[in-house]
Amino acid sequence: MEGFGMGRVAGKVAVVSGAARGQGRAHAVKLAAEGADIIAVDLCEDIETNSYPLARPEDLDETARLVEKEGQRAHTAIADVRDRVGLAAAIDAGVSELGGLHIVVANAGIAPLTAGLPMQAWVDAVDVDLIGVMNLVHASLKHLEAGASVIATGSLAAYLASMQGRSVGDVDAPGGAGYSFAKQVVAHYINDLAIQLAPRFIRANAVHPTNVNTHLLQNDGIYSVFRPDMTAPISIIICMWREPRSRARTRLLPSSSPPISSRHRVDPDSL
């Protein structure tokens, strides 16, 4: 992001969930490049109903290496966003090591969109994509002071679907329906959270990405949504996407100084 300005979050500490790879890693590295120390959190193991493999501990280690390459400190923690107690302990340890918390990036998510999955796929999608967002935010609130910011990752597809009164999934794809529901509620949650945080001078914004070139997009479960007539392994080309690093700017903007306003639903392609 040449010319965008360096050091916009210098001296701050950011917690990023889903930080081991994909968008989460891109956000962590971009924030580090702009001067923030990073608490990088990830599950680092698979969830049974999710059709593609999730990150591993070595991926989280690589995120830490890239953050440190930018000259910033990294505190890593293998933690499940569905477990608020464990997540809070991980955040508390990072805050103790790094000296504070100023930016919360609730990014962890799954997309179990494969048709024919059990109802547990709905539960898992909601627990990670909605409850996980709330858990990260709520476990962080006690550390946040005036000037802090909260950024949640939504979904442009789910957001547009909600405006049209429909869901990304259907009764044969409970994971997709759970994903859509979770992302829609995240938008409402952030809107109302921002109202509560405003008197405390803490911002809250949601970012709704389009297709991003990560494992969440590039997998057979997603491909089957486009080509339900084909069986895995499916070889198709999704020809419109953005790279994770290009989405990182949208998490920097709401967290930087001078601050932008709160309660925004940001379409990254409008930036």
Residues carrying an active site annotation: 179
Q: State how far the Cα of 220 lies from the Cα of 108, in Å rounded to an integer.
A: 20
Q: Are 95 and 148 in contact (CB under 8 A)?
A: no
Nearest residue to 255 via CA among 148, 99, 132 = 148
HSE-CB of 109 using CA atoms within 13 angstroms: 31
Q: Tell me the residue length of the chain.
A: 271
Give the pair of three-digit tokens for residue 195.
């109202």
Angular region, 188: left φ>0, alpha ψ -120 to 50, beta rest: alpha
As to burial, measured by CB atoms within 10 angstroms (0-12 exposed, 13-18 middle, 19+ buried), residue 126 is buried
Q: Are 26 and 216 in contact (CB under 8 A)?
A: no
Q: State how far the Cα of 244 lies from the Cα of 212, in Å rounded to an integer.
A: 6
Which residues does 206 contact at the CB level (< 8 Å), separation at least 6?
A: 151, 152, 153, 154, 186, 187, 190, 191, 264, 265, 266
Q: Are 141 and 104 in contact (CB under 8 A)?
A: no
